[in-house]
Amino acid sequence: DAGVIQSPRHEVTEMGQEVTLRCKPISGHDYLFWYRQTMMRGLELLIYFNNNVPIDDSGMPEDRFSAKMPNASFSTLKIQPSEPRDSAVYFCASSHSQGAKDQPQHFGDGTRLSIL
Amino acid sequence: AQKVTQAQTEISVVEKEDVTLDCVYETRDTTYYLFWYKQPPSGELVFLIRRNSFDEQNEISGRYSWNFQKSTSSFNFTITASQVVDSAVYFCALSEGITGGGNKLTFGTGTQLKVEL
């Protein structure tokens, strides 16, 4: 079975540019999560969706960040304009709600973002 | 608020040694879930195990074992006869159950395990 698929794996861009990260969750999973990992702050939850609807975006650092989930198989995280401090590894994860509540989140391989 | 503490920043062992990674958590929820994830040098996050707050039965899976003690709010992870391939960052995570299913995870800061020959 295919896992969570993220693209691109690596992104290097200049400050001020728009960055779009993409995620395809595992088929049948109705929860999708976006995380950011940095040395300073560790793994932080940015936003999560349930059935394509954003439920909690309290972790989104500022208005430059936005996320969408137009359908059950695709989500984007956009940064506009990007800044050097946005450099991090961004992970997408998905899980399903059927059955017990202890469903694990399955993570993609991450996107390593560098803003110059 | 939920909190996960992994006091060990880095552990180095020699291959074949046993190693225990500590995890202490704080939560006011009566129902909660604990997880361990592994992040090898390649960077991906791999799910290892989950436990719910009602299941204190410890588990052994091959060289891995887990010790969940609700009385001390600890969920420790032991690797027996460690191997070089076990070198990774290990994260403990606590979930806040979301109504209707799914979990919002709070991660610890991770423990870097280095297994040397």
Phi/psi of residue B11, nearest 5 degrees: -130, 135
Which residue, among B103, B106, B111, B112, would best test binding to A if mutated, counting the most A CBs under 10 Å from its CB? B103
pLDDT in tens, A4-50: 999 999 999 999 999 999 999 999 999 999 999 999 999 999 999 99
Find, among B75, B47, B36, B31, the residue nearest to A95 by Cα.
B47
- Residue A100 burial (CB count, 10 A): 11
| Closest Cβ opposite residue B47 in set A91, A101, A106 | A106
Of all residues in chain B, the one with the smallest CA distance to A49 is B102
Looking at the complex, report in whole angstroms how far the Cα of residue A68 sits from the nearest Cα belonging to chain B: 18
CA of A15 to nearest chain B CA: how many angstroms apart?
Answer: 24
Two tokens at B107? 């991660």
Distance set, CA B44 to CA A93, B47, B80 (Å)? 11, 10, 23
Q: What is the mean pLDDT of residues A81-96?
A: 95
Q: Which element (helix H / strand E) includes B36?
A: strand B33-39
| Chain B CA closest to residue A5 | B44
**Residue % of chain A over a pLDDT of 70:** 95
Contact yes or no for A101 and B103 at CB 8 A: yes
CB-nearest partner of A95 from B51, B102, B109: B102
**Encoding tokens for residue A16?**
């001020």
User: Nearest residue on chain A to B99, judged by CA atoms?
Assistant: A101
Which of A10-19, B44-53, B107-116 is least confident? B44-53
Q: What is the mean pLDDT of residues B9-38?
A: 94
Cβ within 8 Å, pair B102-A109: no
CB neighbour class for B7 (10 Å; exposed up to 12, middle 13-18, buried from 19):
exposed
Q: Give the residue-averaged pLDDT of B41-45.
A: 92
Query: Across the interface, do B43 and A95 touch by the CB < 8 Å criterion?
Result: no
Q: Could you read off the pLDDT of A102-111 as tens digits, one per residue?
A: 678 999 999 9
pLDDT of residue A113: 97
> Over 70: is that where the pLDDT of A74 sits?
yes
Tens-place pLDDT, residues B18-32:
999 999 999 988 888
